[in-house]
Amino acid sequence: MAELCAEQGYEATKIADVVRRAHVARKTLYDNFSGKEELFLDAFDVTVAEAEALVADACEPIDEGDWEARVEAGLRAILDFLAAHPAEAKLCMIEAPGAGPESAARYEAALEGFIKQLREATPNGSSRPATLEEALVGGAAWIVQREVRRDAVDKTPEMLPELTEFVVSPYRGVGKR
């Protein structure tokens, strides 16, 4: 599903295309999925779960006090994952927001998951705006989406220093007085 959506988009992808690409009988596909949308949503969910786990695993061994290193490790994990899985990157970052109401909701929920991870990794302080993490995750996602749309997802790991600085700079000095 990810490969087909990357090649031709969600709307243009037909069940017949999936059956042909997966080398399965139509009945087998329908024994496991109610249709194209469920298959797409399952591919999205599996990809997001893998990415979230990689980010958590990358951050886990780093001391909580070294929040900048944790942010950088999380960003590295997600950028490396996307670069290694360009079809899944396109499915999740380009197709999912517009494939339908349920996929748009799951895309938003995935962003919320990354917002929560960022909020937990960074220093607390009353001087930061309540929407800071939303702005940072949304901004970073938009920058990465642009590269995915340009078919340059393989270049996203090179963006690590710039994205790290973008994300960590608003927190420097937070909680220190």
In this prediction the pTM is 0.86
Work out the mean pLDDT of the chain and round it to a whole number.
90
Q: Give the model's pLDDT for residue 19.
A: 87
110/120: higher pLDDT: 110
Q: Is residue 111 over pLDDT 50? A: yes
Can you tell me the mean pLDDT for 96-101?
A: 92
Q: Is residue 125 over pLDDT 80? A: no
Q: Give the model's pLDDT for residue 174.
A: 55
**DSSP code string of the chain:** -HHHHHHH-TTT--HHHHHHHHT--HHHHHHH-SSHHHHHHHHHHHHHHHHHHHHHHHHTTS-TT-HHHHHHHHHHHHHHHHHH-HHHHHIIIIIGGGS-HHHHHHHHHHHHHHHHHHHHHSPP-TTS-TTHHHHHHHHHHHHHHHHHHTT-GGGGGGGHHHHHHHHHGGGTTTT--
pLDDT in tens, 143-162: 999 999 999 999 999 999 99
pLDDT in tens, 44-75: 999 999 999 999 999 999 988 898 999 999 99
Percent of the chain with pLDDT over 70: 95
Q: Is residue 176 over pLDDT 90? A: no
95/28: higher pLDDT: 95
177/167: higher pLDDT: 167
Q: Give the model's pLDDT for residue 177.
A: 41
Q: Give the model's pLDDT for residue 122.
A: 84
